[in-house]
Amino acid sequence: MTARKPAILVLEDGRAFRGESYGAVGETFGEAVFNTAMTGYQETLTDPSYYGQVVCQTAPQIGNTGINSEDDESDRVWVAGYAIADPSPRPSNWRSEKGLEEWLEEQGVVGICGIDTRALTRHLRERGAMRVGVSSATEDAAELLERVKASPEMAGASFVDEVTTAERYTVAAEGEKRYTVAALDLGIKRNTPRSMAARGIETHVFPASATAEDLLSTEPDAVFLSNGPGDPATAGDQVALTRELLRRRVPVFGICFGNQILGRALGLGTYKLKYGHRGINQPVFDRHTEKVEVTAHNHGFALEMPDGARPATVSGDFDPSAHRGGTPVFSTEFGEVEVSHVCLNDNVVEGLTCREVPAFSVQYHPEAAAGPHDADYLFDRLVRLIESSKGAEQNA
């Protein structure tokens, strides 16, 4: 491994942090975001939704459990850069095959360690996510700041083509095959087809450019819209495709970017959150079950409320009763739609359920890698949606 070099992290508002290189030596730019998960750095790094982002981990020590060949959520590291406080000197875990720093170097990912990640996180929380540069090629903050200011913004970024699969592939069901799902890969995580496979679903994963005809050629019982990086306002093709599926009453399930696409297909707008939700302990209220789920999140954008409101305030009061007593329902050209899930930290829309077409979506991650499994039931809800729309077809 290359010896560490002095490194610098410069935010677009000029705030600078000095530390040492971690991973590859070089220079990188992206959107600075923070993730509050205490575990799961390998899953975070390989989640394609982080494309274009420099991830700061709030957990103080990173790398303790090394890297293994089972926990990757895709076949490479996608983050644009990595910022941590205290690198683990030696990984120790029965599954560890390699050290994190060595792996990042191999993957060409530029990172920085030894910085005050708490100060960085507080800064982002107060000022909002913003562009950042990390460099071990220069020690001149003013010079790096110029390049940060010239780097692209996250708002308006279209990244789906960078992360999607080049070729269609199939993930077999575990045991007896009961259903078929066609998945649109906008940055899919491996644990999604795996969670479906556990329920007897065979998943055909398609590139983001697939048409409705391509997806329907597999005679799917449902179509899945995956998570993915970038600004959902740029996903016009996928929104048009989803509208066609809704018109044809094909069952649709979306996660994260997929939730934003379904929302847009139903006529809602999207907006950029001040600093987003990234972590594995975010409380979500399911208005159907009136239960609070502890869930994994990774989103910087969100759906507007049907009246155009953009929830953003941290209420600080953890009071699910505020969300009881009726689900907000709005009318769309595809019939009535419920805002079925809400984040209890800030009232942000976390899920939609259509009443008249077979479609639902969530902004968070039921595949939960790494994360709590409270939201696993949503894959069972997908199976029930498939079953009920099969029943409806037979009765028609």
Ligand X SMILES: NC(=O)CC[C@H](N)C(=O)O
Question: Which residues are documented as binding site for L-glutamine?
Answer: 49, 228, 230, 257, 260, 298, 300-301
Q: What letters, b where the CB count within 10 A reaches 16 and e where it falls short, cover 186-210?
A: bbbbbbbbebbbebebbbbbbbbeb
Query: Which of 164, 227, 242, 389 forms a contact with ligand X (CB under 6 A)?
Result: 227
Out of 19, 40, 111, 300, the only residue in the binding site for ligand X (CB under 6 A) is 300
Is residue 299 close enough to count as binding ligand X by CB under 6 A?
yes
CB closer to ligand X, 212 vs 296: 296
- Give the shortest CB-46-to-ligand X separation in angstroms: 13
Q: How far is CA 239 from CA 82, 246, 257, in A?
A: 32, 11, 11
Paired residues of 31 in beta bridges: 53, 131
Query: Beta strands of 77-213 (E only): which ranges?
Result: 81-83, 86-87, 110-113, 130-135, 169-171, 179-184, 201-206
Among residues 151 and 234, whose Cβ is nearest to ligand X? 234
Cα–Cα distance for residue pair 225/210, rounded to 1 Å: 12
| Residue number, 227 or 238, with CB nearest to ligand X | 227
Q: Is 301 in the site for ligand X (CB under 6 A)?
A: yes
The set of residues, in sequence order, having a beta carbon less than 8 Å from that of 267 and lying 6+ positions away, is 332, 333
Q: How far is the CB of 236 from ligand X (least distance, A)?
A: 15
Q: Among the candidate windows 86-94, 296-304, 325-333, 382-390, which touches ligand X by CB under 6 A?
A: 296-304
DSSP state letters, 314-377 = ------GGGG-S---EEEETTEEEEEEEEETTT--EEEEEESSSSEEEESSBTT-TTS--GGGH
Segment near ligand X (CB under 6 A); pick from 139-147, 221-229, 335-343, 373-381: 221-229
Query: Which C-beta is closer to ligand X: that of 4 or that of 278?
Result: 278
Radius of gyration, CA atoms only, the chain: 21
Question: Does 351 engage in binding with ligand X (CB under 6 A)?
Answer: no
Binding-site positions: 49, 228, 230, 257, 260, 298, 300-301
The 247-266 site mask, x for binding ligand X (CB under 6 A), equals ---------xx---------
Nearer to ligand X, 63 or 229 (CB): 229
Stretch that binds ligand X, among 134-142, 282-290, 299-307, 333-341 (CB under 6 A): 299-307
Least gap, CB of 154 to ligand X (angstroms):
8
Contact 21, 5 (CB under 8 A): yes
Q: Is 109 left (phi over 0), alpha (psi -120 to 50) or beta?
A: beta
Q: Take residue 299 and report the two structure tokens written for it.
A: 């989103």
Establish whether 256 is a catalytic residue: yes
52 belongs to the binding site for ligand X (CB under 6 A): no
- Active-site option among 277, 299, 341, 365: 365
308: exposed, middle or buried (C-beta count within 10 Å: 0-12, 13-18, 19+)? exposed
Work out which of 19, 40, 87, 229 binds ligand X, going by CB under 6 A: 229
- Closer to ligand X by CB, 26 or 283: give it: 283
Catalytic residue among 113, 256, 343, 354: 256
Chain centre to alpha carbon of residue 264: 17
Q: Least distance (Å) from ligand X to the CB of residue 298?
A: 4
Of 145 and 370, nearer to ligand X (C-beta) is 370
- Using the contact rule CB under 6 A, the part of the chain among 93-101, 229-237, 280-288, 368-376 near ligand X is 229-237
Q: Which stretch binds ligand X (CB under 6 A): 18-26, 54-62, 162-170, 292-300?
A: 292-300
CB of 226 to ligand X, least distance (A): 7
**DSSP per position, 239-295:** HHHHHHHHHTT--EEEETHHHHHHHHHTT--EEEEEEEEEEEEEEEEETTTTEEEEE
Q: How far is residue 10 CA from its own chain's centroid?
A: 25
Q: Is 298 in the site for ligand X (CB under 6 A)?
A: yes
Q: Tell me how far CA of residue 375 lies from CA of 37, 44, 241, 282, 283, in angstroms.
A: 17, 18, 27, 11, 11
Chain positions contacting ligand X, by CB under 6 A: 49, 227-230, 232, 256-257, 298-301
Active site residues: 256, 365, 367
